[in-house]
Structure 1
Amino acid sequence: MNRIPMTVSGEVALREELKHLKTVERPRIIQAIAEAREHGDLKENAEYHAAREQQGFTEGRIKEIEGKLSSAHIIDVTKITKTGKVIFGVTVELLNLNTDEEVEYQIVGDDEADIKQGKISVNSPIARALIGKEEGDVALVRTPNGEVEYEIEEVKHL
């Protein structure tokens, strides 16, 4: 089985979503199906069909999350010795040498990636260019708009 790297906060978020789906959404949908059944003829009962569709989506998501959690490899970078090397889970402070702009990204699993929060997938071009490099190194990232050079200013284990 392939292990999926995940940060501690990524695991917490998935567990919270799973709990919500099982304790809030699932009972709500079951109740909605029961109420829709009471309305009689199920063939033309839009509420019934909508609730059944929601139920299918919710059960699918529950299975998906349980699968991800069962194959997750939780990596807590706060417990890994800081070496200045870029590894999964670290937060990297970068200087874009093309624009002199500073940016900060945390390298996370695919499910956790959210560029608005500064979280980039370990499989993204930037993360792939940074992994294994150290503070002071320059990483060359190929983007659709050309090549960008980033100097690794600091690697943080947060």
Structure 2
Amino acid sequence: MINLIPMTVRGAEKLLQELKILKTIKRPRIIQAIVEAREHGDLKENAEYHSAREEQSFCEGRIKEIELKLSNSQIIDIKKISNTGRVIFGTTVTILNINSNEIFTYKIVGDDESDFKKNLISINSPISRGLIGKKIGDIENISTPGGNVEYKILKIDHI
């Protein structure tokens, strides 16, 4: 059974854009670099050729990786899911760290989209796993790398 990769619409669009750039801009530029490097003669000691071939390998690997992720993705549009008042994939949740009295707001997204600096946390992170299915007012004790932390859900945005 294939495990589907959850992804927001924005995440899928980002991967599609990267794929387009790799195929239409980067790949042709690398091929041209290989052609030019071959014209310099002996390929054994041709650093430009080896560098371009290595770059080609990385580019092709990334293309395959993105295509695989997209073909196995489950694109979830939070706007098309009825609001149940619970934390689900794609919601933005505001939580209070009861221990430190700090307030955080995170959007729960797929692994490829996560960016902690932008408050985008992976569905597979300890915080997300602890919050999924909870509602406003719930207090959840979540095991984090820094130890157990109690969070209270203050707000859930279904946008």
Same fold (TM over 0.5): yes
In structure 2, what is the equivalent of residue 48 of structure 1?
49
Partner Cα distance (1:151, 1:60) in 2 = 42
Alignment TM-score, normalising by the size of structure 1: 0.98
Gaps of 5+ in 1: none
Partner Cα distance (2:4, 2:78) in 1 = 17
Deviations 1:25-75 (A, max 9, x none): 000000000000000000000000000000010001000000000010000
- Give the letter for the 1:81 counterpart: S
What is the DSSP-based 3-state SS (H/G/I as helix, E as strand, rest coil) of the residue aligned with 1:111? coil
In structure 2, what is the equivalent of residue 101 of structure 1?
102
In structure 1, what is the equivalent of residue 68 of structure 2?
67
Partner Cα distance (2:145, 2:52) in 1 = 43
Gaps of 5+ in 2: none
In structure 2, what is the equivalent of residue 58 of structure 1?
59
Partner Cα distance (1:126, 1:97) in 2 = 14
Percent of paired sites with the same residue? 63
Task: Give, in angstroms, the shift of residue 145 of structure 1.
Answer: 2.4
- Report the RMSD for the aligned CA atoms in angstroms: 0.8
Task: Give, in angstroms, the shift of residue 146 of structure 1.
Answer: 2.0
Alignment TM-score, normalising by the size of structure 2: 0.97
State how many pairs are aligned: 158
Partner Cα distance (1:2, 1:146) in 2 = 30
Partner Cα distance (2:145, 2:61) in 1 = 35
